[in-house]
């Protein structure tokens, strides 16, 4: 009798659990998804906010609610997407390539469930230094206090790769710091660091803050054989220009500064449902002019641009939309 009662209890519990979950979907239970971004001073955070705002305006239509989380950046976002802690994340194009192919932070552990959704704005690798530091070339970094970026950020990876290509050992040739970008501007103005790297789109709050203080600062040109080598060797890099004249008049540079960079990309997991991805892509692209107006970094975007710089396979939900509107065949 006890055995029969136990079996019946298990059946009731399982049935109840199934009804609760299935019933939620059947009654139109709302889906909640989170976008991982980056520091609040960068472009990733407002980008995530812009996307969530657009989708949430039609929350009832899609039965979908999108939230945004400030995170440590690209590496964190990839790992959180893969573990299921995030549904979406903004990831530098180089980090997307490395994660899917199992290199760099994912050496020997390719993240084959990573999926691309679309790319967004270009991001330059930027190096800002105080005038008094005497840093005007990469070689001048030797012996100086330099912030490479917080662990798990894409810009730390870019800075390290650039230094190593230039023959500068981040562990012994400089005093490397691991501050978040939001902290770096204040530290530079306080004289506690000599320079900092930050891979980000323009205009940017951190650089606005750093170039508006009492301490004179400037952007260091990133060009020459070392940059040429990186651009030739890695498909996710391209040369770029820092718009100093129009965006950072407080910097002491005479004009715009050459650099190189990557693209910001919007990523997800193969496990995220097609309808969720489709809804987000549809809202961004159906309201493209509105999306472009939400941040100055988007000003040069075209729909075609937003399908470049992707090295992980397209998620089927995104692919469905792009085929419907003729962006891919």
Which tens digit of pLDDT belongs to each residue from 207-261?
Answer: 999 999 999 999 999 999 999 999 999 888 988 999 999 999 999 999 999 999 9
Q: Is residue 228 part of a domain?
A: yes
Q: pLDDT (tens digit, 9 = 90+) per residue, 44-82?
A: 998 999 999 999 999 999 999 999 999 999 999 999 999
* pTM listed for this prediction: 0.79
Q: Domain of 105: which CATH number?
A: 3.40.190.10
Q: pLDDT (tens digit, 9 = 90+) per residue, 279-302?
A: 999 999 999 999 998 888 888 889
Q: Is residue 116 part of a domain?
A: yes
User: Do 128 and 165 lie in a common domain?
Assistant: yes
More confident residue, 12 or 155: 155
User: Do 254 and 286 lie in a common domain?
Assistant: no
- Final residue before a domain boundary, out of 261, 278, 302: 261
- Final residue before a domain boundary, out of 239, 261, 283: 261
Total of domains in the chain: 2
More confident residue, 14 or 139: 139
Cβ partners under 8 Å of residue 199, min gap 6: 92, 123, 124, 125, 126, 149, 154, 155, 158, 159, 261, 262
Residue pair 42/180 in contact (Cβ under 8 Å)? The answer is no
Q: Is residue 311 part of a domain?
A: yes
User: Do 55 and 185 lie in a common domain?
Assistant: no
Is the pLDDT confidence value at 127 over 60? yes
Which residues span the domain enclosing 88? 31-122+264-324
Is the pLDDT confidence value at 314 over 90? yes
User: Do 190 and 275 lie in a common domain?
Assistant: no
- Final residue before a domain boundary, out of 216, 239, 261: 261
pLDDT of residue 12: 36
């Amino acid at each position: 009798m006890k055995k029969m009662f136990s079996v019946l209890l298990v059946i009731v519990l399982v049935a109840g659990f199934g009804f609760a979950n299935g019933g939620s979907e059947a009654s139109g239970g709302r889906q909640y998804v989170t976008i991982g971004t980056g520091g609040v001073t960068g472009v990733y955070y407002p980008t995530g906010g812009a996307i969530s705002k657009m989708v949430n305006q039609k929350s009832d239509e899609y039965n979908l609610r999108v939230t945004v989380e400030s995170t440590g950046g690209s590496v964190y976002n990839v790992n959180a997407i893969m573990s299921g802690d995030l549904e979406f994340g903004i990831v530098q194009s180089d980090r997307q390539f490395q994660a899917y192919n199992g290199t760099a932070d994912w050496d020997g552990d390719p993240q084959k469930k990573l999926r691309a959704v679309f790319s967004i704005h270009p991001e330059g690798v930027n190096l800002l230094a105080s005038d008094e530091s005497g840093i005007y070339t990469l070689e001048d970094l030797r012996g100086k206090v330099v912030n490479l970026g917080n662990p798990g950020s894409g810009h730390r990876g870019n800075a390290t790769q650039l230094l190593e290509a230039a023959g500068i050992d981040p562990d012994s040739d400089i005093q490397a710091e691991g501050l978040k970008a939001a902290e770096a501007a204040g530290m530079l103005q306080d004289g506690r660091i000599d320079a900092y790297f930050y891979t980000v789109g323009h205009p940017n709050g951190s650089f606005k803050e750093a170039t508006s203080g009492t301490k004179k600062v400037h952007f260091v040109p990133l060009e020459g054989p070392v940059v040429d080598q990186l651009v030739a060797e890695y498909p996710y890099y391209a040369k770029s220009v820092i718009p100093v004249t129009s965006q950072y008049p407080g910097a002491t540079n005479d004009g715009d500064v050459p650099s190189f960079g990557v693209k910001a990309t919007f990523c997800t997991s193969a496990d995220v449902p097609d309808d969720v991805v489709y809804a987000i892509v549809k809202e961004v692209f159906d309201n493209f002019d509105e999306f472009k107006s939400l941040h100055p970094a988007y000003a040069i975007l075209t729909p075609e641009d937003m399908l470049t710089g992707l090295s992980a396979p397209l998620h089927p939900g995104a692919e469905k939309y792009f085929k419907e509107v003729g962006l891919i065949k």
